[in-house]
Structure 1
Amino acid sequence: MSPGRWQGLVVLVAIACFATWKVDAWRYGKELASLNAAHQADMSAIANAASSQVRQALDKQQAAEKVRADLDARITKEKANALAENEMLRADVAAGDRRLRIAGRCSASSSNLPDTTSPDRLDDGGTVELARAAGRAIFDIRAGIIKDRAALKGLQVYVLRVCQ
């Protein structure tokens, strides 16, 4: 073969290789563009789903906070009313307008009663009147009970309504 033919054949092979390379590059470019578009669509769908979940979680949190605030206001009001009533009763007892009496029964076998021939139980249902200082202590105890019950009630309702 003559050198001109070799050169022509080499040029032809070079052109064929370049054309094949260029066609493959275009095909891979299309594939990459398609994969990139699919990736972008997937990322967009994931971002939208995450955004929706965040919005739902935020809405749920805000609803729970509203329930908690409403519950707190109601329980606080009930506690304040009960404490105000307790203070009114305390003031009435201190002023002598009311008396604090405790109803009770004593059994005959109690060590506080003298030994009698009466039945084992006395059903007279008598009352014991407390001194003013003891009455104040009873109202202090009652105020503590009111506060504790209000706190427990608030926690119970919170757990039942918000935490579930």
Structure 2
Amino acid sequence: MIAKYKLLLQGGALVVLVLLGFGVGWSWQGALGESALDKANKAHSDTLGEIARAGQRQLQDQQALLIAERERMQALDTKHNGELEDAKQENERLERLYSGADDERKRLRIAVKVARADAVVSETTGGSSMGDVAALELSPEAGRAVWDIRKGMIEDQAKLRYFQELERERQRQSNGQ
């Protein structure tokens, strides 16, 4: 019976030794696994840091380009708004001169050339021959309308120049990138 207990004791010791070996092996592999995992985590962290720094540099470059573009557009706006204001002031100055003039000088006269189709009318009314210059006088209302038209033309031309230069600037930038 002692042999039976001895065998049982040896079997139990063997199971304990196997379990102990298994536990030691498990710990050993865990330590090695943790070391490999630590290395992988460090490599991953380093890679993420590099990506973040590259993204930050790219963002800073984009912001610098955006700021430079805004400054160019602001300069363009300032230039063309100044030109438009100068043209408006000149038109207003001419309108004031026109408004302050006497009736004779207020009359707006336009020199016109008589076309061939109008030659018959000129001959019957005692006008000069074809191609000669004749004077056409506008009413005060029509004269005022001419000033308004002139003002609109000045503004439209200034806006057109602005948009053309704006488009040229955008084309330059898109070709430069």
TM-score w.r.t. length of structure 1 = 0.83
Q: Which has the larger radius of gyration?
A: 2
Q: Which residue of 1 aligns with 2:43?
A: 38
Mean CA deviation greater in 32-41 or 105-114: 105-114
Cα displacement (A) at 1:103 = 2.8
Greater relative CO (CA pairs within 8 A, separation 6+): 1
Residue 28 in 1 paired to residue 30 in 2? Answer: no
Identity %: 29
Please give the root-mean-square deviation of Cα atoms over the aligned residues, in Å: 2.5
Deviations 1:93-124 (A, max 9, x none): 222275643232111313882466xxxx7222
Give the 3 Å change call, closer, same or farther, for CA 32–111 of structure 1 in structure 2: farther
Counterpart of 1:139, as a letter, is W
Structure 1 or 2: more helix by fraction: 2
Q: TM-score, normalised by structure 2?
A: 0.77
Q: Partner of 2:156 in structure 1?
A: 148
- How has the CA–CA distance of structure 1 residues 122 and 111 changed in structure 2, closer, same or farther, with 3 Å as cutoff? closer
Distance 2:109 2:123 in 1: 26
The aligned counterpart of 1:130 is 138
Q: Contact 2:119–2:130 at 8 Å: present in 1 too? A: no
Shifted more, 97-106 versus 146-155: the winner is: 97-106
1:53: which partner in 2?
A: 58
Tell me the SS of whatever aligns to 2:110. Answer: strand
The structure-2 alpha-carbon separation of the partners of 1:128 and 1:115, relative to structure 1 and needing over 3 Å to count, comes to closer
> Quick check: 1:67 aligned with 2:75?
no
Partner of residue 90, structure 1: 95
Q: Which 10-residue stretch deviates more, 50-59 or 78-87? A: 50-59
How many residue pairs match? The answer is 160
Mapped to 1, the partners of 2:55 and 2:132 lie a distance apart of 73
Q: Distance between the aligned counterparts of 2:72 and 2:120, measured in 1?
A: 53
Report if the CA contact (8 A) 1:101-1:129 is conserved. Answer: yes
Paired with 2:170 and 2:63, the residues of 1 have a C-alpha distance of 14
Q: Displacement of 1:78 after TM fit?
A: 0.5
Q: Aligned equivalents of 1:131 and 1:81: distance in 2?
A: 28
User: Does the CA contact (< 8 Å) of 1:67 and 1:162 recur in 2?
Assistant: no
1:2-56 residue CA offsets vs partner (Å, 9 max, x unmatched): 2332233222211211121111101211121111112111211221122122212
Distance 2:37 2:120 in 1: 99
Q: Which runs of 5+ in 1 are unaligned?
A: none
1:76-87 matches, cutoff 5 A? 76-87=81-92
Measured in 1, the distance between the counterparts of 2:122 and 2:144 equals 31
